[in-house]
Structure 1
Amino acid sequence: MRVFGFIIFFIYAYFELSFFIKVADSIGVFLALIGIIATSIIGFSLIKKQGLNNLSIMQQKIANNQSPKDEIIKSVSLLFAGFLLLIPGFLTDMLGGILLIPRVQDYIVRFIVKKFPFKVRSFSSSNNAQLNDVIEGEFERKDD
């Protein structure tokens, strides 16, 4: 299993370096490096924006006693996209950018929910507030 991991890593490194050399050959090494840094910065800003939007939708669904499973799956997709954008290289930046597209995220959510049907139970303090049981009384603390 360890050998398989090394083989995959070297195949990835080969393709990433080959792609970088082709891009650097056409636009120059300096511009290629700036391109890698720029795609990472732009990608992280998009992840931050989509992540905060996803978090607010998740909070609204929890407040309305709805299942936030779709947003949880989208959050995992955003986390994976952020990891791919963190790794320097054009191929990983393209894969991370593809994961940031909302239609791709929706497709991933539909695929995962279809393959792995699961139920989510939501417990919140608002459920207890609906009971409307109020107990009034007085107490006195006696120290020994």
Structure 2
Amino acid sequence: MRWFLLLIVLAPAVELSVLIYSGMKFGILNTLLIVMLTAAAGIVLAKKFGLRAFYDIQDRIKQHEMPGDAVVDGLFIFVGGILLLFPGFITDLIGLLFLFKWTRKLFKPLLYRWFRKKIGKGQIIVM
């Protein structure tokens, strides 16, 4: 919980400082244009990849398979799309990394390890 609180305080401060620096370096209008373009691109990409993940989940269920990995992909795509809607370059970068399959592979083991740790401590109960 400490990390989450620290993230809530630090992330906006870092994003704001990067936006201010970008505004000084490239101009306010160019910075605003880039932020709006990344948000629009994020909406399009999140919809495209999100629908693909949804259909993958459906296909796995139809084949009587557990859709676990496809659900995790969908979760990353959802969070990536949300991050792309926030104004800022750092959240945009992380959001883009969550959208693409080859970069999601880097984050999945971290998420799985976190889940195993929480399950081991009894903080998450699996039925």
TM-score (norm 1): 0.69
The equivalences for 1:4-83 within 5 A come to 5=5, 8-83=7-82
Would you say the 8 A contact 1:24–1:32 is kept in 2? yes
Task: Structure 1 unaligned segments of length 5 or more: list them.
Answer: 117-144
Larger radius of gyration: 1
More helix by share: 2
Would you say the 8 A contact 1:84–1:93 is kept in 2? yes
The equivalences for 1:110-129 within 5 A come to 110-113=109-112, 116=116
Describe the shift of the 1:91–1:113 C-alpha distance in structure 2 as closer, same or farther (beyond 3 A): closer
Distance in 2 (CA, whole Å) between partners of 1:89 and 1:111 is 24
Task: Structure 2 unaligned segments of length 5 or more: list them.
Answer: 117-127
Distance in 2 (CA, whole Å) between partners of 1:34 and 1:26 is 14
Distance in 1 (CA, whole Å) between partners of 2:8 and 2:52 is 34
2:120 counterpart residue number:
none
Q: What amino acid does structure 2 have at the position aligned with 1:52?
A: L
* Count of matched residue positions in the alignment of Structure 1 and Structure 2: 115
TM-score (norm 2): 0.78
